[in-house]
Amino acid sequence: MEIPGEIRIFCAGSIVHTSPARLPCPMNPTAYFLKPCRAVFSSTNIQFSIAGLLTGLALLFTGCAGLTGPNGLGQFVLVVCKLAPDQKVAAQNRANQYFSQVASGKSARPLHRYVAVQTLDPNPKQRMKYLQTKATVQKKAESSGKSLGPEWAEPSQLHCIVVFDAVTHDSVGTDCYVVSSLPRLGEVSTYDTFPAEFVANSKEVVQ
């Protein structure tokens, strides 16, 4: 969906720049106020600070749609599976450990709204879905004269990641994101449409 309109840049009460703007996906921006300069998106009468505008544009490329990575689901994500009950419990325990350390000052507060933690590795049903997806991707690659990327590892090398809301401390949705390599602690990656900081693996929590 595109929202037509224009962006006007104001400095000291005068318009210094006007340009057409088309937003390629729905947004839910918060109004920012920055003096002496501000930008106004005229069709919706929403005011953005210059910093807020740049942040929004960055999110359009990194967080608005999960079009990155080997399967278009994020930098590390190979396939998305429904979260099993034992994986949900393990992920919540690990997230609670991280949030407790943040509350006690042992870990720094996250810089993003979402955080990600490692949970139990894929179960047999999830591995089967992975193998089916891998076969489809391999067939498509071969039809284009390409080979399958090294990230499509053997099922025994797979891990699962769950995304949490840093405000509510609840998991975001009911999915686990299957990866063949874990991000570094503190690394921000996209999981489907959620840019999240990886804060806990099976051995340690980010400090």
Percent helix, strand and coil across the chain, each to the nearest 5 = 25, 30, 45
Q: Whole-structure pTM over 0.75, yes or no?
A: no
Q: Are 117 and 101 in contact (CB under 8 A)?
A: no
Least Cα distance to 176 among 78, 64, 63 occurs for: 78
Please report, as a single letter, which amino acid is at residue 178. V
**83 and 57 within one domain:** no
pLDDT in tens, 146-175: 988 889 999 999 999 999 999 999 999 999
126 and 194, same domain (yes or no): yes
* pLDDT per residue rounded down to tens, the chain (207 residues): 444 444 444 444 444 444 444 434 444 433 333 333 334 333 444 443 444 444 444 444 433 334 566 667 777 899 999 999 999 999 999 999 999 999 999 999 998 999 999 999 999 999 999 999 999 999 999 998 998 888 999 999 999 999 999 999 999 999 999 999 999 999 999 998 889 999 999 888 887
Average pLDDT, the chain: 76
Neighbours of 146 (CB within 10 A): 10
Residue 156 is classified by DSSP as G
67 inside domain: no
Number of compact structural domains in the chain:
2
Do 29 and 121 sit in the same domain of this protein? Answer: no
Say if 177 falls within a structural domain: yes
Q: Do 57 and 86 sit in the same domain of this protein?
A: no
% of residues, the chain, pLDDT over 90: 55
Same domain, 21 and 54: yes
